[in-house]
Amino acid sequence: MHTFITEVRQTLIPSRSGKDGPLPPLLVAMTLVTGLVDAFSYLVLGHVFVANMTGNVVFLGFALAGAPGFSIGASVVALASFCLGALVGGQAGKRYGAHRGRLLSMVTAVEAVLLGASVILGSVSGSPVTAGFRYPLIFVLATAMGVQNAAARQVAVPDLTTTVLTMTITGIVADSTVVGGKGSRSGRRLIAIAAMLVGALVGAACVLHVHIVIALVIALVVLVVVGTITFMLGKSDAEWAKAQG
């Protein structure tokens, strides 16, 4: 229990002298953003994710088989846009990857611009979203999530990918001492899962009970806060800022 509490504390309130410095809580916040935007995309834009590409590959298979409610076009646009975003994020990684704070600052700024565009599109699209706004929204959101995912991969804080939780959940069990492992790091991993869950919950509640665009507004606000903090962190040359591996 003591180890678990320590892992939670180090994830949410890390020491500047730690290996990853202040990066873990920022990536937790970006995981929250993932839950928010995927809740919006699935509930508002049809059966499509803008962050979870595993789900889109499966949905594409459903659509190709003729399952009702799934769109080949939506899945393909989401996948292609995500790849475009990952390309942008990869290029940013090559240019700014030597300093993890500056890298995260740059990609968060790009992502915030794209989220801002989605807020504008969502505001003028009406509810339900009309066909003419569906694909532009998928494009900007999936591109933003591709940028985020590529950056998180480059930043390389263990168990905080901001998007994929399958291996995180697997690790909690497979690495546990119950099966002879070295310890599951369940504190940090459960924080990541909780962040995604809370994001999805808040996003769904906004879409279903308030207004569809509020989920995107919250995601944008979170990104602006993360971006502001990372901009300040970009001025530091502390050990944690150095590229990993």
The pLDDT value given to residue 179 = 60
Cα–Cα nearest to 122, from 219, 9, 199, 56: 219
Q: Which residue has the tokens 């989401």?
A: 78
Please state the φ and ψ torsions of residue 105, each to the nearest 5 degrees: -65, -45
CA atoms of 115 and 129, how far apart (whole Å): 17
Q: Are 202 and 36 in contact (CB under 8 A)?
A: yes
How much is the pLDDT for 245? 59
Under CATH, which number does the domain 2-10+25-230 receive? 1.20.1250
What is the per-residue pLDDT for 2?
A: 65
Per-residue pLDDT of the chain (245 residues; tens, 9 = 90+): 567 788 889 899 998 778 899 999 999 999 999 999 999 999 999 999 999 999 999 999 999 999 999 999 999 999 999 999 999 999 999 999 899 999 999 999 999 999 999 999 999 998 788 889 999 999 999 999 999 999 999 999 988 999 888 888 888 888 776 666 666 578 889 999 999 999 999 999 999 999 999 999 999 999 999 999 999 988 888 889 988 75
Count of positions (residues) in the chain: 245
The pLDDT assigned to 107 comes to 95
Task: Single out the residue of 42, 7, 59, 14 nearest to residue 191, CA to CA.
Answer: 7
Are 224 and 29 in contact, with CB atoms under 8 Å apart? Answer: no
**Residue 178: per-residue pLDDT:** 62
**Predicted local confidence at residue 16, as pLDDT:** 72
Domain ranges of the chain: 2-10+25-230
Give pLDDT, residue 1.
58
